[in-house]
Amino acid sequence: MINNLISKRVENLPPYLFVEITRKIAEKKAKGEEVISFAIGDPDIPTPSHIIDRLCQAAHDPANHRYPETDGLPELRQAVARWYRQRFGVSLDADKEVLPLIGAKEGIAHIALCFIDPGDIALVPDPGYPVYSVSTMLAGGEPYYMPLIGENNFLPDLDAIPVDVLKRAKLLWLNYPNNPTGAVAELDFFNRAIEFARRHDLAICHDGPYTEVAFDGYQPVSFMQADGAKEVGVEFHSLSKSYNMTGWRIGMAVGNPTMINALMRIKSNLDSGIPQAVQYAAIEALSGPQDCIEGHNAVYQKRRDLVIDVLNRIGLEAEPPKASLYIWAKVPEGYNSTDFTTDLLEQTGIVVTPGLGYGSSGENYVRLSLTITDEELMKGLSRLAEWRERA
Ligand SMILES: Cc1ncc(COP(=O)(O)O)c(C=O)c1O
């Protein structure tokens, strides 16, 4: 009977990609089979100990046992502003242009409610992090999918968006370094996007949680470094991937003060902020020693090279990414992403993410994440190679 009461909003939701994958893994494990997962972008390396020490210390302070403020501790907003200045040379007003989040995902989901009314459009990358389109739908709007293809270096072709779509569009979603393709964007692309947003009266939401995960000395830029970024958009960022803090749930939105204020208004009605001990841990992460980032990237880079080497040897085309935690590999001739993923799991116990889960342009791809221990990675790669060689 309760089934009949569920809202259309929920009924119409696609299943969240990783819930399905986690279910399949649990099913296999329950049968006693060994599963090696390259699926989820969740760092296996622990949070650096100086950050955990600060978290534990703050957890003992009764001042941090009470409700936090929605807009976060002023010291955290100041630490975010300082970090943006040091890392990107970007100036932010800590009171008006910075908003701490319960992880970037939370802010990404809620900002749709600030801009999208029923019938409005959000322009979203395809393939893309699923939350951009799902939050648009939950707000009653429609996603318009911008294909990201290899020939365009996985950047959207903004000039190909039809005029009637642009008339109804309010938000333009961008994400570099990109999940799932591993592509990067430079300032000239962001400058063009800003000019486009001005011309078509759009707000830009740039999602940049992977700017600190980069290889071979490459330093990704922030959207906020582009001229006029603050006039048209915000950037979502996160401590999840930079400092291996996915489990603590903390991120931030920075940029246009009107957009930040709208997000704050929605959030203050829906949540009660981030646990303060976690906020102190974030201050420590952003203000403390940064050499841990280089250490993590060296680990990921070694894994990236091993994965690329094996994939290319067994006929799965993939470019080594300059940044992000992901390898975007073309499935062999005769397969689509779902068949390949299913066969691989059934026959080897290896889990990769089907590209189709990120949108129809991902149909011929799978995503492998580098957040798997070295031991599992080696085991998984040799199993994968044997499987393809047998085939
Ligand atoms: C592109 C992208 N944005 C946002 C997030 C979510 O980050 P957080 O852990 O801060 O919610 C992820 C997590 O995988 C991601 O890949």
- Alpha-carbon span 385 to 237, nearest angstrom: 36
Tell me how far the alpha carbon of residue 129 lies from the centroid of ligand 1, in angstroms.
8
- Alpha-carbon span 321 to 327, nearest angstrom: 7
103, 250 in Cβ contact below 8 A? Answer: yes
Confirm or reject: Cβ of 284 under 6 Å from ligand 1: no
Confirm or reject: Cβ of 180 under 6 Å from ligand 1: no
Torsion (CA) 221, 186, 201, 142 in degrees, nearest 10: -90
From 126, 173, 241, 248, give the residue whose CB has the most ligand 1 atoms within 8 Å, as the site to mutate.
Answer: 241
| Tokens coding 336 | 């689509």
66 contact partners, CB below 8 Å, separation of at least 6: none
Is the peptide bond prior to 180 cis by the omega test (within 30 degrees of 0)? yes
Tell me how far the alpha carbon of residue 2 lies from the centroid of ligand 1, in angstroms.
33
Confirm or reject: Cβ of 276 under 6 Å from ligand 1: no
Tell me how far the alpha carbon of residue 7 lies from the centroid of ligand 1, in angstroms.
27
Atom of ligand 1 nearest to the CA of 251: 10
The protein residue whose alpha carbon is closest to atom 5 in ligand 1 is: 105
- Alpha-carbon span 338 to 340, nearest angstrom: 5
Share of the chain above pLDDT 70, in %: 99
The protein residue whose alpha carbon is closest to atom 6 in ligand 1 is: 105
Q: What is the DSSP string of 315-367?
A: T---PPPSBSSEEEEEPPTT--HHHHHHHHHHHH-EE-EEGGGG-GGGTTEEE
pLDDT value at residue 287: 98
DSSP 8-state class, residue 370? S
From 102, 105, 135, give the residue whose CB has the most ligand 1 atoms within 8 Å, as the site to mutate.
Answer: 105
Q: Over the stretch 308-345, which tens digit does the pLDDT of each residue have? A: 999 999 989 999 999 999 999 999 999 999 899 989 99
The protein residue whose alpha carbon is closest to atom 16 in ligand 1 is: 179
Confirm or reject: Cβ of 179 under 6 Å from ligand 1: yes
Which amino acid is residue 174, in one-letter code?
A: L
pLDDT value at residue 21: 76
Residue among 205, 217, 223 at smallest CA distance from 169: 205
Tell me how far the alpha carbon of residue 386 lies from the centroid of ligand 1, in angstroms.
33
H or E element, residue 193: helix 187-200
The protein residue whose alpha carbon is closest to atom 14 in ligand 1 is: 41
Atom of ligand 1 nearest to the CA of 105: 11
Confirm or reject: Cβ of 240 under 6 Å from ligand 1: yes
Tell me how far the alpha carbon of residue 31 lies from the centroid of ligand 1, in angstroms.
31
pLDDT value at residue 191: 98
State which residues of the chain have pLDDT below 50: none
Tell me how far the alpha carbon of residue 242 lies from the centroid of ligand 1, in angstroms.
11
Tell me how far the alpha carbon of residue 103 lies from the centroid of ligand 1, in angstroms.
7
Atom of ligand 1 nearest to the CA of 178: 1
Tell me how far the alpha carbon of residue 238 lies from the centroid of ligand 1, in angstroms.
7
- Alpha-carbon span 205 to 178, nearest angstrom: 14
Atom of ligand 1 nearest to the CA of 128: 1
CB atoms within 10 A of CB 309: 12
User: What's the Cα-to-Cα distance from 177 to each of 75, 151, 180, 206, 211, rounded to whole Å?
Assistant: 28, 17, 9, 10, 6
Tell me how far the alpha carbon of residue 105 lies from the centroid of ligand 1, in angstroms.
6
Residue among 106, 56, 286, 253 at smallest CA distance from 64: 56
From 129, 237, 324, give the residue whose CB has the most ligand 1 atoms within 8 Å, as the site to mutate.
Answer: 129
Phi-psi region of 291 (alpha: psi -120 to 50; beta: other; left: phi over 0): alpha
| Three-class HEC string of 56-96 | HHHHCCHHHHCCCCCCCCHHHHHHHHHHHHHHHCCCCCCCC
Share of the chain above pLDDT 90, in %: 90
Atom of ligand 1 nearest to the CA of 179: 1
pLDDT value at residue 22: 80
pLDDT value at residue 122: 98
pTM, 2 dp: 0.96
93, 81 in Cβ contact below 8 A? Answer: yes
